[in-house]
């Protein structure tokens, strides 16, 4: 990592603070604005008119398209100028006009992992934590303190409530309203959002075959959770006694226990068949 004075890949019309750290192989396009506390890693490319400010660190091989704004102040009335951060990993693609706000309090971070695709006009609010290989389609809006686990898929025009968690390999349909946690491996749609079934396509792409014992166990867990009409706590107690066939049911159980046990979480979404709180 070197200062901007040694780089030959910064366009003459870009405004870059002399204390910003830009890797010599990074590219900064016309009209970009880079703040004092910014670090940009190797082979990352900023297309024209990108703004990166605040205490922001961007890793290697990212593609950041025109109009993206990263690290600006959070849209949170509690913010009082704390040096909070944004951390972005490697090989992410941020399409036109994506916005990623820094966290609210000192020592807090808004984080984006590796190999993610955020399509145009996606908004990532303060204190969000996004894993790896997540895809968010156009105009997804994340409120503050949202956690999205790896390989989740969020379709276009989805709104997600603050403090909501979306699990691994979940699939959220277009224009859904997500106001509670989305368990891993589930497919969700609607306003309000409701569990519609297992994300079979995503599971297949992840390598789980319908003939695998683990797949059959996951299907049975889904049936008990969302078709039996038993209380969620009772089903979780039963699942905890199952002999483990692998990671999938264990991950589902972990997520659901955390969702109902953490007072800052909003609890899991129900299925389309019932809206009764505490019932699967």
Residue-wise pLDDT for 34-56, tens only, equals 999 999 999 999 999 999 999 99
Taking the CB of residue 53, how many other CB atoms lie within 10 A of it?
20
Spacing of C-alpha 3 from chain mean position: 31
Give me the pLDDT at residue 245, please.
62
192: preceding bond cis by omega (within 30 degrees) = yes
- Quick one: average pLDDT of 190-216? 95
Show the tokens assigned to 77: 């009335």
Task: Return the pLDDT at 279.
Answer: 43
Helix axes 232-239, 213-226, angle to 10 degrees: 160
Residue 147 has pLDDT above 50, yes or no: yes
Query: What is the residue extent of each domain of the chain?
Result: 2-145, 208-261
Q: How confident is the model at residue 236 (pLDDT cuts 50, 70, 90)?
A: very high
pLDDT grade for 115, boundaries at 50, 70 and 90: very high
The pTM assigned to this predicted structure is 0.93
Above 70 in pLDDT, residue 271? yes
Report the C-alpha gap between 139 and 96 in whole angstroms: 11
Least confident of 66-80, 104-118, 123-137, 203-217: 203-217
Tell me what pLDDT residue 14 has. 98
Closest CA to 126 of 91, 84, 159: 84
Residue 6 has pLDDT above 50, yes or no: no
Cβ contacts of 38 within 8 Å, gap of 6 or more: 17, 20, 21, 52, 53, 54, 56, 57, 58, 71
Out of 2.30.110.10, 2.160.10.10, 2.60.120.10, 1.20.272.10, the CATH code matching 2-145 is 2.160.10.10
Percentage of residues in the chain with pLDDT exceeding 90? 89
At residue 51's C-alpha, the angle toward residues 45 and 56, to 5°, is: 80
* Contact in structure between 74 and 82 (CB atoms under 8 Å): no
pLDDT, position 1: 54
Mean pLDDT for the stretch of residues 96-116? 98
């Amino acid at each position: 990592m070197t200062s901007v004075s040694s780089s030959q890949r910064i366009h003459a019309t870009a405004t870059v603070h002399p204390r910003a750290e830009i890797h010599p192989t990074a590219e900064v396009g016309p009209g970009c604005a880079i703040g004092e506390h910014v670090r940009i890693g190797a082979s990352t490319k900023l297309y024209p008119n990108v703004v990166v400010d605040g205490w922001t660190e961007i890793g290697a091989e990212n593609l950041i398209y025109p109009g993206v704004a990263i690290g600006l102040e959070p849209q949170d009335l509690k913010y009082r100028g704390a040096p909070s951060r944004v951390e972005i990993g490697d090989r992410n693609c941020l399409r036109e006009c994506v916005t990623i706000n820094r966290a609210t309090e000192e020592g807090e971070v808004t984080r984006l992992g590796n190999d993610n695709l955020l399509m145009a006009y996606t908004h990532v609010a303060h204190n969000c934590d996004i894993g790896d290989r997540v895809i968010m389609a156009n105009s997804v809006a994340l409120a503050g303190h949202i956690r999205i686990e790896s390989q989740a898929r969020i379709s276009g025009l989805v709104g997600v409530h603050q403090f909501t968690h979306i699990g691994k390999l979940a699939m959220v349909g277009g224009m859904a309203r997500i106001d509670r946690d989305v368990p891993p491996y589930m497919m969700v749609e609607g306003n309000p959002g409701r569990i519609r079934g297992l994300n079979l396509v995503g599971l297949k792409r992840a390598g789980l075959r319908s003939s695998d014992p683990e797949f059959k166990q996951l299907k049975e867990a889904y049936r008990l959770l969302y078709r039996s009409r038993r209380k969620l706590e009772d089903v979780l107690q039963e699942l905890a006694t199952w002999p483990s066939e692998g990671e999938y049911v264990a991950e589902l159980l972990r997520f659901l226990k955390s969702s109902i046990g953490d007072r800052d979480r909003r609890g899991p979404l129900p299925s389309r068949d019932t809206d009764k709180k505490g019932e699967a």
